[in-house]
Amino acid sequence: MTKYTSVSIPLTLHKRLEKIIAKKTGFKSVSDYVTYVLREVVAMHELKDTPEPFTSTDLDEIKARLQALGYL
């Protein structure tokens, strides 16, 4: 179960966000929208630390598999 805490944002910003989510479908509250935006930002930062998707062993195995299937 996700636990929650509060952060403070200026009231004027809150009002501007309310206007934005009124135009979007799906977001039920400013908190929903702010959580979404922050998750995107955090993911963007984490992406910078992502290693190469395949090791050299992976690559050999995947190439062999794709070759056997006729793709290469």
Partner 1 sequence: MSKKVAVLGLDSVPPEMLFHKLIDKLPNFGKIYREGIHGSLRTCDPPITVPAWMVMMTGKNPGELGIYGFKHRRGYSYSDGYIVTSTNVHEKTVWEVLSDRGRKSIVIGVPPGFPVKHVTNASTISCFLTPSSDRPFTNPGELKDEVVKAAGGKYIFDVTFRTENRADVKKELFEMTEKRFDVAEHFAKKPWDYFMMHEIGFDRLHHAFWKFFDPKHPKYQKGNEYEGIDLEYYSMVDRRIGRLIPMFGEECTTFIVSDHGSKAMKGGFCVNQWLEQEGYLAFKKRPDKPIELDKVEIDWSRTKAWGWGGYYARIFFNVKGREPQGIVDPSELENEKRRLAEKISKIKDHTGRTMKNWTTEPLKLYGTAIGDKPDLMVYFDDLDWRSAGTVGHDSLYLFENDTGPDDSVHSMDGIFMMHKPGRDLKGREVSGARVEEMAPTLLKLLGIDPKGVGLNGKMIEAALEGAAP
User: Which residue type occupies 4?
Assistant: Y
Residue that is written with structure tokens 């934005």 in the block: 20
For residue 33, give both structure tokens.
């929208």
In the structure, how many helices (H) and strands (E) does the chain have? 3, 0
Please provide the distance, in angstroms rounded to a whole number, between the alpha carbons at the two ends of the chain. Answer: 46
What mask, x for binding partner 1 by CB under 8 A, covers residues 12 to 31?
------------xxxxx---
In the range 53-72, which residues lie near partner 1 by CB under 8 A?
53-55, 58-59, 61-63, 65-72
Binding test (CB under 8 A) with partner 1, winner from 47, 48, 49, 56: 47
Binding site for partner 1 (CB under 8 A): 24-28, 32-33, 36, 39-40, 43, 46-47, 50, 53-55, 58-59, 61-63, 65-72
